[in-house]
Chain A
Amino acid sequence: MSTREPGVRRLVIVGASLAGLRAAESARRTGWDGEIVLVGAEDHLPYDRPPLSKAQLDHRTGDDLVPLRSRDELDGLGVTTLLGTPATGLDTDGRRVLLGDTAVAYDALVIATGATPYRLPGADGIAGVTGLRTHSDAVAVRRALDAGARTVVIGAGFIGSEIASAARKRGLPATIVERLEVPLSRSLGPEPGAICADLHRDAGTDLRLGVGVSGLESTGGRVTGVVLDDGTTVPADLVVVGIGVRPATGWLEDSPVALHDGDRGVLCTASLATSVPGIWAAGDVAHFPNVRFGGDLMRLEHWTNAAEQGALAARNALAGTGEEIAFLDTIPYFWSDWYGHRLQFVGTPRADEVVTVGPHGPGAIVLYRRGTQLAGVLTIDRPRDIMKFRRLVMEPGSWDEALFQAADRVTASA
């Protein structure tokens, strides 16, 4: 017998990636012994995505996928998987997730379907053009790099930058095309964005800024170049589209689950409850108010966020009557590896002021001020320092103290 929520005999988790897996694991950790069904669109057991744009693009990597948990481990947890079965709809009256011709009934539901890369208009069916979100995408990119592809990345975001880095590591020509005048200026601010631009240039990546893509050139169905809206053409054997993602919620459009007006992500409370009782959401798909940062509505595409939210959503989904529902108390954190440099960010970049302390390049500490407090920190090649600044964001420390500590650390490492 279950010792917790008596009405919940079956927890269905839609989305078999990190957030979904953590949801299943955390459900078991509560001691609940009901049925767990993990539904995934891909054919694979849950696997890790950060290496897709990092180690798995390395030339020594094979095609094999190592899942986060083996089939045996999932069996041991009592998790039933329905893989290769994308959710197609949600019947909240009948408490069923629709899977094409079939359906699975739930008592409690966790939505963890993640996000889907935006595609380039007119690129469908042209070989050599891909996004990078799945294992098979990574295999396609690595094989193209193995074959010596001239690489063009569209979009100078973190994933695109890592792909350019992988190409340059092999000595292959890499071009990044970015519509903004300064890469990442919207997410990190203009000055840190300019520092990131220099990392690309110093590594020999051809950075084309303030220019859009007007089309692709192809021969025999295979891409040969990217045509820019300034009239130039960049030759390409591999085009990786990294212009962002949208929450994978098409299957929820006809359901009463409230979605964000802009990107159609799932609107959640700080406990990850959706607008429909019994339904929770986690990971890249979920908007949530972050109480640490003035209740800002956030949707994060970070590994740590998916892990944390998956665990919390399942725990709350199974919380018994009268039991405390837990709220997110989170400081966003992500990292990215470019050309042998480690970029790390904690907190929020939504700030009143951004100040770079130390070198405007590797070794930089970038501080983000909100009011009189430290709200975010970006470091480049300071693995020892970043979590000290996280503690300052958490306290939260005063802006003056943050400036002092940053100067101190720069001096100490000079």
Chain B
Amino acid sequence: MRIDVDRSRCEGLGMCEAMAHEFFEVGDDGFVVVLDEAPDEGQRAFIRAAIDSCPVSALSLRD
């Protein structure tokens, strides 16, 4: 499982960080940084919820 960021879509709104700050952080440049790109399978539902919360659909999960 890998987390992908589409930087052309990311607006740095921070919903992902609000939902799962262990995995996402918005940087000073206003783009999200993925803190752990290949997280444990056990975190899938938690990360999925954070990805789904993105207002501009900039995040996706890849197996």
Contact = CB atoms under 8 A, between A and B. Distances in A.
Interface of A: 48, 50, 303-304, 307, 331, 333, 335, 342, 344, 383-384, 386-387, 390-391, 413
Given A303-B55, A304-B55, A383 B18 contact: no
Contacts of B12: 342, 383
Contacts of B18: 331, 333, 387, 390
Contacts of A344: 13-14
A342 B30 CA distance: 9
Q: 7 shortest A-B CB distances, which residue pairs? A: A387-B17, A383-B12, A387-B14, A383-B30, A383-B26, A384-B28, A387-B18
Given A303-B55, A335-B13, A384 B25 contact: yes
Contacts, number: 38
Interface string B26-42: 11101000000000000
B15 interface: yes
Contacts of A384: 25-28
B44 interface: no
6 contacts: A48-B55, A344-B13, A344-B14, A383-B28, A386-B14, A390-B18
Interface size, B (range): 10 to 19
Contacts of B21: 387, 391
Contacts of A331: 18
B35 to A, nearest CB: 13
Nearest to A390: B18
A304 B17 CA distance: 14
Interface of B: 12-15, 17-18, 21, 25-28, 30, 53, 55
Given A383-B12, A391-B21, A307 B28 contact: no
A339 to B, nearest CB: 15
Nearest to A386: B14
B15 A304 contact: yes
A50 B55 contact: yes
A50 B12 CA distance: 14
Most buried by B among A331, A344, A383: A383
A387 B18 CA distance: 6
A333 to B, nearest CB: 7
A155 to B, nearest CB: 24
Given A383-B28, A384-B25, A391-B21, 14 more contacts: A48-B55, A50-B55, A307-B55, A333-B15, A342-B12, A344-B14, A383-B26, A384-B26, A384-B28, A386-B14, A386-B26, A387-B14, A387-B17, A390-B14
Contact of A307 (B13, B26, B53): B53
A335 B12 CA distance: 10
Nearest to A54: B11
Nearest to A25: B52
Contacts of B28: 383-384, 413
Contacts of B25: 384, 387
Nearest to A18: B55
B11 to A, nearest CB: 8
Nearest to A308: B53
B14 to A, nearest CB: 4
B18 to A, nearest CB: 5
Contacts of B14: 344, 383, 386-387, 390
Contacts of A386: 14, 26
Nearest to B17: A387
B23 to A, nearest CB: 12
A13 B21 CA distance: 33
A311 to B, nearest CB: 9
Contacts of B30: 342, 383
Contacts of A413: 28
B2 to A, nearest CB: 23
A391 B15 CA distance: 12
